[in-house]
Amino acid sequence: MNEYFVYPGQLMAAKESARIKTILGSCVSVVLWDPHTRIGGLCHYLLPEPTAGSVPSARYGSFAIPELLQRMLDLGAGREHIQAKIYGGGNVVNHLNRLDGSIGDRNIEEARAQLQQLKVPVVDANTGGTKGRTISLNTETFAVEHHFVDEQAENGTLSGTSMVRPRDRIKVLIVDDSATVRSLFSRILAQSAHIDVVGTATDAFDAREKIVALKPDVITLDIEMPKMNGVAFLEKLMQQHPMPVIMVSSLGADGEAAQKALDLGAVEFVQKPSQHDPALLGELGEILIQKIIAASTAQIKTAQPVSKPTPAPHHLPDSNLSSHALRLITIGGNVGCSEPLSALIRGLASDTPPVVVSASTISSFIGTFTQRLQPYCRVELQILRMEETPLSMGKVYFATADSHVQVHRTSAGGLVARLEKGGPFFGQKPSSEKLFQSAAEAATESVCGILLSSFSADGISGLLKIRESGGVTIVQDPEECSFNATPVSAIENGAADFILNAKDIPACIKELRNRKVLQTG
């Protein structure tokens, strides 16, 4: 029996014995079958019908369902015998971000309306809910295997990608020369049911002894310490006892030290607030807990790592997106995104549409990051300030650590970026979600959203919003990601038009920009 996988915005019908699979979030699959000829197929559509100016395609139920029926008739199915089943339409957007999740309901309504109009009887349906699901059609029997996300194997995913999950209890060692900070971090982390603070250390030498004795899963390590600074200790630690490390420093600390720490293998970076303001401490707590949970999933490289082959890009071909020109590119990510972000930006052409980046891991030392990267780029790198910034071709704009970035459309129709104050969103500041949501509203069909290595749900709903608005989305291949929890979830919730390695994304952007009619998966 042949096996096929149908990506979002595709459809397939088979005359021979086949198993046809797909993954659904708020998307819907209509499954059709003729019991006399055993011809069967399914479609996977994202939206009920095209938005204004968009080209009808298999992305839309109003096109996909009649087209699937015609494909089956062309293969020899009997019009009067065909039956239907409906799957998907989960309220995953609402489940992830408490937004209006009506897109799933609208997709379900479109399926029923189209099938009624086509006079195809519906013999079964499993729709709605708040979870992603996988379905597999056996064209021999019309049997459809159906599983929700949480029915998968413990370390498995709907997409078959291995995803490391956080430990049930994470043992943390706090290394800081300040008694105040050690006490503060201990109190903050005690609020989490997933974290145990097993000890504190005052300097690198104290930390070395306690790492051996306490065997922590994650350590927080201050950059500025007496006797031996945190970066020097990290370098020795990663050579002799590699483990997940979150670097900590005061606001305004040397960005070079933070960047070097990431280069040496630190998982993440956190800034200590300069004052004990309750609001700032609350933000720090949310961010620190999220980063420690993420760090606990890190696969730390040994001194001589075994390189794995680069996975091939997964293009999702054969459907039209929108005839609108590509006007804006947005990039989000957090833990593990520094290296792929650098590779992506280095590959951008000088005439790339404006790019806006929200990446919390590098936002605290964005000046150092951009200075290092600029000599290797054909685009101009610019750090956003509080004043409104008009967006221009050939420039990449970066959000800073103290604000979220949002894109807005001016009364004249141009696009501008604004930094806006606010607490962490999904434990991240700046938040990819804030950027993607605003871009979907400002640029609609003309925006491309890109999600890189990440942890937490930050950005998933925003990508779905971009797709719903008619834009195009790209997710970094989970097999390439240092931290793939968010990319895997984005794919399983139907948020990916393309699944690509970071180095392949610039070529995809160029292709999208150059097409009169954008093609997507």
Shared-domain flag, residues 126 and 21:
yes
Token pair of 317 as six digits:
């071909």
Shared-domain flag, residues 10 and 121:
yes
Give a yes or no: residue 43 inside a domain.
yes
**What is the number of structural domains in the chain?**
3
Single-letter amino acid code for the residue at 84: A
- Mean pLDDT, residues 275-291 taken together: 74
Asked whether the whole model's pTM tops 0.85, one would answer no
pLDDT higher than 90, residue 417: yes
Shared-domain flag, residues 125 and 238:
no
pLDDT, tens digit, for every residue of 305-332?
Answer: 333 333 333 443 333 344 457 899 999 9
- Write down the pLDDT at residue 294: 86
Given 279, 295, 311, the domain boundary residue is 295
Asked whether 55 and 518 are in contact (CB, 8 A), the reply is: no
Q: Between residues 47 and 319, which one has the greater pLDDT?
A: 47
Length of the chain, in residues: 521
Shared-domain flag, residues 344 and 287:
no
SS3 readout for 154-204: CCCCCCCCCCCCCCCCEEEEEECCCHHHHHHHHHHHCCCCCEEEEEEECCH
pLDDT, tens digit, for every residue of 170-214?
Answer: 999 999 998 988 998 998 899 888 899 999 999 999 999 999 999
pLDDT, tens digit, for every residue of 218-252?
Answer: 999 998 888 898 999 999 999 888 999 998 887 55
pLDDT band with cut points at 50, 70 and 90 for residue 100 = very low
pLDDT higher than 70, residue 458: yes
Give a yes or no: residue 451 inside a domain.
yes
pLDDT higher than 50, residue 48: yes
Shared-domain flag, residues 112 and 53:
yes
Given 230, 261, 295, the domain boundary residue is 295
Give a yes or no: residue 162 inside a domain.
no
Give residue 388's domain range: 319-520
Shared-domain flag, residues 399 and 492:
yes
Low-confidence winner among 49-53, 93-97, 322-326, 345-349 (lowest mean pLDDT): 93-97
Q: What percent of the chain has pLDDT over 70?
A: 85
Give a yes or no: residue 334 inside a domain.
yes
Give a yes or no: residue 156 inside a domain.
no
Shared-domain flag, residues 137 and 177:
no
Q: What percent of the chain has pLDDT over 90?
A: 49
Phi (first) and psi of residue 300, to 5 degrees: -70, 130
Give a yes or no: residue 405 inside a domain.
yes
**CATH number where 264 lies:** 3.40.50.2300
Give a yes or no: residue 23 inside a domain.
yes
**CATH number where 76 lies:** 3.30.1330.200
